[in-house]
Chains A and B, each alone.
Chain A
Amino acid sequence: MDNAVLLDVQGVRKTFPRPDGGELLVLDDVNLRIADGEIVGLLGRSGSGKSTLLRLIAGLSRPAGGRVSYLGTVVDGPPPGIAIVFQSFALFPWLTVLENVEIGLEALGLPQPETRRRALEAIDLIGLDGFESAYPRELSGGMRQRVGFARALVVHPNILLMDEPFSALDVLTAETVRTDFLDLWSDGKLPIKGVVLVTHNIEEAVQMCDRILLFSTNPGRIIGEIAVDLPQPRDRLDPSFRALVDRIYIAMTARQEEAQRHLARLDRLPGIGIDTILSEVSTNLLSGLLERLAGAPYNGSADLPVIASALHMEVDDLFPVAETLQMLRFVEIEGGDIKLTEAGTEFADAETDLRKQLFGRNLLLHVPLAGHIRRILDERTHHTAPKGRFLDELEDHMTPDAAEQTLRAVTSWARYGEAFAYDDQKQTFSLENPA
């Protein structure tokens, strides 16, 4: 077994510098081995560092601690034999399909006839015949990603890294490209030995992977490993498939509850607890989910995977909404179930004005950052405060991007709940809305 290890990740840590000179931990103590013939899934929410890990494996960035080794040698810069398929396709828009596929071979310095022959073979394999002279802009998303696959496969890599390769595609297209890939893989037609798939889609992970590693957020750690023994091709409606999906949902929400309890503890001490990264969830989505839950057939309580598929939402879409509602105490999440609280039921039944009142009340009570901003504004004589002030505070705990996002999220919620106002031109928070 040991000589069949393609990739070995040991105790890897990754940090990003913070503006104040400190460091922000995004990946901590990650251990991972990829053996010959495996598809391994890295499953987690956005911000769990799984894409960062993929870039470490690809040699696009260096770990702060631990080491990544590929076929026994430490990865130090992009090694030959590892290729990536990107979420955004990353095709060169000025090259035709054929030229896009050829370019990796050109970089290897292969002679022109061989380059052409191998490129045409890869195009053939991936089902792009007839599109050779098309430019990426002329192709649909599914076809573009097929070019992405052909371009990665043509260099005959040992390991194929896939960074959410289907998430920019619509559901049906994603399904087609996915099954086509799985068929080629099962038939042994692909010139690759192992695959690492980054995804936030639980069903996708269960459908494709032999092993799934679950990631926590902030910092990213591996919190569990689930082996998938179902035979290929896998049927999504098969009870054992569903059971596995449920199990992963529960495992992922369990971690979330833990984080929530942690937050609730801090909640009681005023002035702290603003270090939570908030997701930008629109208030329309929040009320939408509450209404759905309140109505038939759920009547106030639902199974998360069930309501997710009913709403055509994936983990990355659903979890932030559910999590925000939980933070606002409109719902409770336990064991893969989501339940309306009393306040949640009241909200779902109310008219617009009352809804805004309820929302504003719970926002100030339960979201520490909102309460904090409101308190500062109340204390100041002119009731205004610059945005930069809060941004600085947040950046002690998170990256500048996350701080911006958190502040944007709380601003849009506060606007809806009329908790406070924000003027983007002056970049200041205030208590007054234009009369």
Chain B
Amino acid sequence: MKGRASTPISVQSRRPPFSVWDVVAVVLVLGVLVVLAEAGRGLAMPIDTLDTTPIGLDPGNLPGYAARTALRMLTALLLSLVFTFTYATLAARSRRAELVLVPLLDILQSVPILGFISVTIVFFMSLAPGRVLGAELAAVFAIFTSQAWNMAFSFYQSLRTVPDDLVEASRCFRFGAWMRFWRLDVPFAMPALIWNMMMSMSGGWFFVVASEAITVGDTTVTLPGIGSYIALAIAQRDLVAIAWAIGAMLVVITIFDQLLFRPLVAWADKFRFEQETGVPPPTSWFVTMVRGSRLVRMTAAPVAAAMRWSYRIAPKGRAAGHGKSRSSAGSVWADRAWAATVLFVVAVAVWQIALYVLSGVPLSEVATTVVLGLATMTRVFVLIAIASLVWVPIGIRIGLNPRLARIVQPIAQFLAAFPANLLFPIAVSGIVAFRLDPNIWLSPLMILGTQWYILFNVIAGATTIPSELRDVAANLKVRGWLWWRKVALPAVFPFYVTGAITASGGSWNASIVAEVASWGQNRLEAAGLGSYIAKATEAGDYHRVVLGIAVMSAFVVVINRTFWRPLYLYAERKFRLG
């Protein structure tokens, strides 16, 4: 034992008392505090201040706006995380809860979020009447609804696939439920969860633009932020201001990438479950700073101690019991009673929704919305097909060239994060100038932001084609169309399907803003379910909003169940390499 007590920490003794990283850490912490204080002051203000200090297009305002927007997104992400940890854990732990929560999550994922906003804003305004806080809550909630579902789903799936031997080890060492959650479940789920957080954040930008400046009937709320700035710029046809806004957004996205996601990815690399991957581990200067800074370590130590203390005091509870044997013969009747209750509640809810809708909308209009839904569906499928024809060959080419892939991959991911609604004004002025048919030419806007999912998934797929397979193809002189048909396309197919599913879901959502677009006084409209919901929202006609959302959700759920999911399972079974 001599001289060994310090082994794992001996590296520190040779360090100077303070490093450069300490200074960087202090500066960053102070910066965050200032931003938080500034934003917190804004929340308590009476709502009238929004009218007395209107949004200005002066680029000097942008840093402040950007900070407010970024803070909203972070808050929403935090709420999504809390939601994920509770909702998904409940679904994974209780069989009865699972019966309800998982299908519900599946449907929530399919509901067009943009339709939500108008319904919820009134509620949140009533929570904090006369305060900015209410409007802020509504905006945060809108962003939350765009972020939470896929995170919860990913966490749920991780919880269901925690390896048996690790579960047995943690039970054998008598972890309590609380300790198991933090030491086994969360670490195991971390890589997938972080990836989904990044996707959520990307998706969130789209909704920021739509959620900060909302008009519902005669209520208009304009919160200070990049979204409101853009809305004003569109109304005033100020292209320079739009360019400034895009610039500000780039900066914010870069900051998030450098200070949040890249560090998270680098840090989460240790939670990877596969033992070896040949890929060099991701790195981040921020993580280097955290690991190099003594201050950070000093702050982290009490947190770790507190967690250990919480494991000790947390009740051991049922975790020591028999986790996996979740069904027993005696509970069959209880299960049936539970299922009956759930069915009853669902039936009542459907009945209530139908009553509400029909009290304001004639029955014949339901048929109209279905026809409009078919129109939007045609657009989505045609656009996915066109985007696939364009991006699959390009993605494969890029993926097979590692150097090119390393450059293009982050760009594609950034483009997916970029809110495509910023580019709508340009499209609208083009359509007006050339007198094009909006029914056709507004459609591409739906896929503007979502096509990148196809591209970067295909690139990822092509990079995983083993070099041996490519060598064999070259050796056997498999070329031209035969090469595409037998080698490249099958190899990327599962990845392509994943990308296409995301793109399709995103496009349905985007239809609500894409089928009605305006630039100053020019207003264009395409016939479809998206424009139906958008118009009903503007008019404050909740009966039609609810009808539109319900029909669109039904479309998305049915298409997912009958088309995308079978296709995905088929692709997984037949084409997954290795």
Binding site for B on A (CB under 8 A): 55, 58, 60-62, 77-78, 80, 82-84, 86-90, 92-94, 96, 98, 103-104, 106-109, 112, 120-121, 124, 129-130, 132-133, 135-137, 155, 425
Contact = CB atoms under 8 A, between A and B. Distances in A.
Contacts of B1: 120-121, 124
Given A60-B172, A425-B574, 16 more contacts: A55-B168, A60-B322, A78-B171, A78-B320, A84-B172, A90-B163, A92-B183, A92-B187, A93-B275, A94-B187, A98-B8, A107-B176, A107-B179, A109-B311, A129-B7, A130-B7
A422 to B, nearest CB: 15
Contacts of A61: 322, 325
A60 B270 contact: no
Contacts of A120: 1, 4-5, 7
B305 A92 contact: no
Contacts of A425: 574
B275 A92 contact: no
18 contacts: A60-B171, A61-B322, A77-B321, A77-B322, A78-B173, A87-B165, A92-B166, A92-B183, A93-B271, A94-B271, A103-B183, A107-B311, A112-B305, A129-B4, A130-B7, A135-B270, A136-B275, A155-B173
B175 interface: yes
Interface in B1-42: 1, 4-5, 7-8
A245 to B, nearest CB: 30
A330 to B, nearest CB: 34
A104 B173 contact: yes
B176 to A, nearest CB: 7
Given A55-B168, A60-B168, A84-B168, A92 B184 contact: yes
A61 B320 CA distance: 11
Contact of A90 (B5, B166, B175, B308): B166
B311 A106 contact: yes
A103 to B, nearest CB: 7
Given A61-B325, A104-B173, A107-B176, A112 B308 contact: yes
A86 B165 contact: yes
A92 B168 CA distance: 12
Interface string B244-280: 0000000000000000000000000011110110000
Nearest to A108: B174
Contact of B322 (A62, A104, A112, A121): A62
Contact of A78 (B174, B325, B574): B174
Contacts of A108: 174
Nearest to A157: B172
Contacts of A84: 168-169, 172
Contacts of A93: 270-273, 275
Contact of B169 (A86, A106, A109, A121): A86
Contacts of A90: 163, 165-166, 168-169
Contacts of B179: 106-107
B486 interface: no
B173 A103 contact: yes
A58 B271 contact: no
Contacts of A96: 8
Nearest to B169: A90
Interface of B: 1, 4-5, 7-8, 163, 165-166, 168-169, 171-176, 179, 183-184, 187, 190, 270-273, 275-276, 305, 308, 311-312, 320-322, 325, 574
Contacts of A109: 311-312
A86 B187 contact: no
A355 B454 CA distance: 50
Q: Which 6 A-B pairs have the closest CB atoms?
A: A90-B165, A109-B312, A104-B173, A90-B169, A94-B271, A137-B275
A64 to B, nearest CB: 12
Nearest to B179: A107
Nearest to B309: A109
A87 B179 CA distance: 24
B173 A124 contact: no
Contacts of B5: 120
A32 B10 CA distance: 49
B185 to A, nearest CB: 12
Nearest to A89: B165
B172 A78 contact: yes
Nearest to B191: A94
A426 B116 CA distance: 43
Nearest to B275: A137
Contacts of A62: 322
B173 A88 contact: no
A132 B273 CA distance: 20
Given A92-B187, A129-B4, A86 B311 contact: no
Contact of B270 (A78, A83, A94, A112): A94
Contacts of B176: 107
A58 B187 contact: no
Contacts of B183: 92, 103
B8 A88 contact: no
Contacts of B173: 78, 83, 103-104, 107, 155
Contacts of B322: 60-62, 77
A96 B187 CA distance: 13
A103 B179 CA distance: 10
Contacts of A130: 7
Contact of A107 (B8, B163, B175, B305): B175
B381 to A, nearest CB: 26
A77 B275 contact: no
A79 to B, nearest CB: 9
Nearest to A109: B312
Contacts of A106: 179, 308, 311
Nearest to B324: A61
Contacts of A77: 320-322
Interface centre among B169, B176, B184, B321 (most CB of A within 10 A): B169
Contacts of B187: 92, 94
Interface centre among A83, A94, A130 (most CB of B within 10 A): A94
Nearest to B307: A106
Contacts of A112: 305, 308
A362 to B, nearest CB: 33
A95 to B, nearest CB: 8
A94 B267 CA distance: 10
B577 to A, nearest CB: 16
Contacts of B305: 112
A255 B5 CA distance: 54
Contacts of B270: 93-94, 135
A133 B273 CA distance: 18
A104 B183 CA distance: 11
Contact of B276 (A94, A107, A121, A137): A137
A24 to B, nearest CB: 15
A144 B454 CA distance: 40
Contacts of A129: 4, 7
Given A107-B179, A133-B8, A83 B172 contact: yes
Nearest to B190: A94
Nearest to A93: B273
Contacts of A89: 165
Nearest to A119: B8
A133 B270 CA distance: 13
A228 B12 CA distance: 52
A307 B1 CA distance: 47
B272 to A, nearest CB: 7
Interface centre among A78, A84, A89, A130 (most CB of B within 10 A): A78
Contacts of B574: 425
A130 B271 CA distance: 22
A385 to B, nearest CB: 21
A425 B570 CA distance: 9
A191 B322 CA distance: 28
A108 B163 CA distance: 23
